[in-house]
């Protein structure tokens, strides 16, 4: 459920709104393209997810910042008490900047630098998700030097197929993530001998946009087995981090993915009598349907066999369609009836790449230059994956709450873009 819907607008009968904000009017104010996020949707998704685990008081939901790191989005979630899952010092600084206390932050990633480790230790984070033996030794060195102790969970790779796109599957043996399940016990033993390390948790994350609960079930079974093995070996495991990955609906003509309540039932079955604190790292589930990308049609080009709708947003603004063959629903901002969705068109951007498209062979109503479209479900892995390719300016991000809106990240100017670079003195 999200808060983007058609309502009576300022200048047209039925205009797509973000909560109470007319998107035609917003486009006139902010210019296109722009990302628009709904606070009510973010709040709702966070509450639905945490609510599904109400019966388990000792849970910590660490929103995965990589999905959408806009400070307005983070502050909205921080105000609800969310923890954060970070993968870099930059993300950690964002979490701290919006007031998330260190004890609600988990740090993942295969390539944490010693500087990042030191920064995170100083911030007093809840735990490091350690992904290799050399990383473990580096962390021990840094913690010992500082006279601090790093609480760690090994990220265990269960070699389970998450049945998702191969580029967002992370729990197969061939993926770079985590330590092999079979090596876990010996790594925990090694960790226990190292100064500055407290091996107190277990972590796993098998992939993203997972729409079938079976892979979670198989992975969670291995995880509970591992907790038993570790406890029998004398380890005081006090938390289990189940990662993120729950899929969301991108299209209405496909079966809906499992609900957070279905997921919670599975978690409770798998973890039922384990006396541990549970951590989760949902990203897409919280932010995905809470954001859209609004773009204006520049030209409609009709070739003998094809129609191209050329819009002002491009692959550099939203790379998901071309990178993961992802489907994003496209809606005209001024409502059209369903029977008018009959013009088959590729929706493409101005970037000089064949892969620059937002949709291929998509039935849409007849669109004209100047019309506005909304690319839906763009709140997760949208703006965060944007680049300036073709020297295009990053698009602004707008956060809406009821009738209010704030441009939380303004569009840079061309002067900003050029002044970020230096010329060498020999030129």
Which DSSP symbol is given to 255?
P
Q: What H or E segment, with its residue span, contains residue 29?
A: helix 23-30
Kindly tell me which residue out of 194, 285, 374, 378 binds ligand LLP, with binding defined by CB under 6 A. 285
Cβ closest to ligand LLP, residue 289 vs residue 345: 289
Site string for ligand LLP, 102-121 (x = CB under 6 A): ------x-------------
Q: Give dist(CA 288, CA 49) in Å, integer.
A: 14
Question: Does residue 168 bind ligand LLP (CB under 6 A)?
Answer: yes
Site string for ligand LLP, 241-260 (x = CB under 6 A): --xxx---------------
- Is 389 marked as a binding-site residue? no
Kindly tell me which residue out of 41, 50, 68, 208 binds ligand LLP, with binding defined by CB under 6 A. 208
Q: Are 119 and 139 in contact (CB under 8 A)?
A: no
Residues with catalytic roles: 352
Q: Are 30 and 21 in contact (CB under 8 A)?
A: no
Cβ closest to ligand LLP, residue 9 vs residue 258: 258
Sign of CA dihedral 258, 264, 268, 274: positive
Instruction: Show the beta-strand stretches assigned E in 158-207.
Output: 179-180, 197-203
Q: Give dist(CA 14, CA 262) in Å, integer.
A: 35
- Is 422 marked as a binding-site residue? no
Cβ closest to ligand LLP, residue 319 vs residue 331: 319
- Is 250 marked as a binding-site residue? no
Site string for ligand LLP, 54-93 (x = CB under 6 A): ----------x-xx-----------------x--------
User: In the bound complex, what is the minimum distance in angstroms from residue 381's beta carbon to ligand LLP?
Assistant: 3
Question: Does residue 389 bind ligand LLP (CB under 6 A)?
Answer: no
- From the list 182, 178, 181, 231, the residue with the least C-alpha distance to 205 is 178
Helices (H), 162-259: 184-193, 213-232
Q: Give dist(CA 200, CA 100) in Å, integer.
A: 22
Question: Does residue 45 bind ligand LLP (CB under 6 A)?
Answer: no
Cβ closest to ligand LLP, residue 64 vs residue 316: 64
Q: What H or E segment, with its residue span, contains residue 4?
A: strand 4-7
Q: Give dist(CA 312, CA 296) in Å, integer.
A: 6
β 127-130/34-38 pair status: unpaired
Kindly tell me which residue out of 209, 211, 345, 377 binds ligand LLP, with binding defined by CB under 6 A. 209
Cβ closest to ligand LLP, residue 67 vs residue 394: 67
Q: What is the largest CA-CA distance in the chain?
A: 72
Kindly tell me which residue out of 2, 44, 94, 320 binds ligand LLP, with binding defined by CB under 6 A. 320
- From the list 287, 273, 140, the residue with the least C-alpha distance to 199 is 140
Question: Does residue 17 bind ligand LLP (CB under 6 A)?
Answer: no
Q: Which residues bind ligand LLP (CB under 6 A)?
A: 64, 66-67, 85, 108, 168, 170, 205, 208-209, 243-245, 281-285, 320, 324, 381
């Amino acid at each position: 459920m999200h808060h983007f819907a058609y309502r009576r607008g300022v200048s047209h009968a039925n205009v797509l709104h973000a909560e109470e904000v007319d998107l035609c009017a917003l486009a006139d104010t902010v210019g296109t393209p722009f990302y628009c996020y709904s606070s009510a949707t973010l709040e709702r998704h966070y509450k639905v997810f945490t609510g599904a685990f109400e019966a388990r008081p000792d849970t910590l939901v660490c929103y995965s910042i990589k999905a959408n790191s806009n400070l307005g989005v983070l502050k909205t979630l921080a105000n609800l008490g969310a923890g954060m899952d970070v993968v870099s010092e930059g993300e950690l600084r964002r979490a701290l900047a919006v007031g998330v206390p260190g004890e609600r932050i988990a740090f993942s990633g295969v390539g944490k630098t010693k500087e990042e480790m030191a920064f995170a230790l100083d911030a007093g984070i809840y735990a490091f998700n350690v992904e290799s033996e050399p990383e473990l030794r580096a962390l021990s060195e840094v913690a010992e030097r500082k006279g601090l102790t790093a609480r760690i969970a090994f990220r265990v790779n269960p070699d389970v197929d998450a049945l998702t796109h191969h580029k967002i599957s992370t729990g197969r043996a061939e993926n770079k993530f985590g330590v092999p399940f079979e090596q876990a016990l010996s790594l925990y033993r090694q960790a226990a001998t190292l100064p500055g390390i407290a091996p107190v948790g277990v972590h796993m994350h098998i992939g993203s946009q997972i729409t079938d609960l079976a892979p979670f079930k198989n992975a969670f079974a291995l995880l509970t087995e591992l907790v038993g093995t570790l406890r029998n070996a004398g380890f005081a495991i006090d938390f289990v981090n189940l990662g993120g990955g729950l899929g969301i609906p991108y299209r209405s003509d496909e079966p809906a993915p499992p609900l957070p309540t279905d997921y919670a039932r599975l978690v409770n079955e798998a973890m039922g009598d384990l006396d541990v604190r549970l951590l989760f790292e949902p990203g897409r589930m919280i932010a995905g349907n809470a954001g859209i990308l609004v773009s204006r049609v520049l030209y409609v080009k009709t070739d003998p066999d094809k129609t191209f709708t050329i819009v002002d947003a491009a692959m550099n603004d939203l790379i998901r369609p071309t990178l993961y063959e992802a489907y994003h629903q496209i809606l005209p901002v001024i409502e059209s009836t369903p029977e008018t969705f009959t013009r088959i068109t590729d929706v493409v951007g101005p970037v000089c790449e064949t892969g620059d498209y937002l949709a291929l062979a998509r039935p849409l109503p007849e669109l004209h230059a100047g019309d506005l479209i909304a690319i839906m479900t763009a709140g997760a892995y949208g703006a965060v994956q944007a680049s300036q390719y073709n020297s295009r300016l990053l698009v602004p991000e707008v956060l809406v709450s009821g009738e209010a809106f704030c441009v939380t990240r303004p569009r840079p100017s061309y002067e900003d873009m050029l002044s970020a670079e230096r010329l060498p003195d020999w030129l």
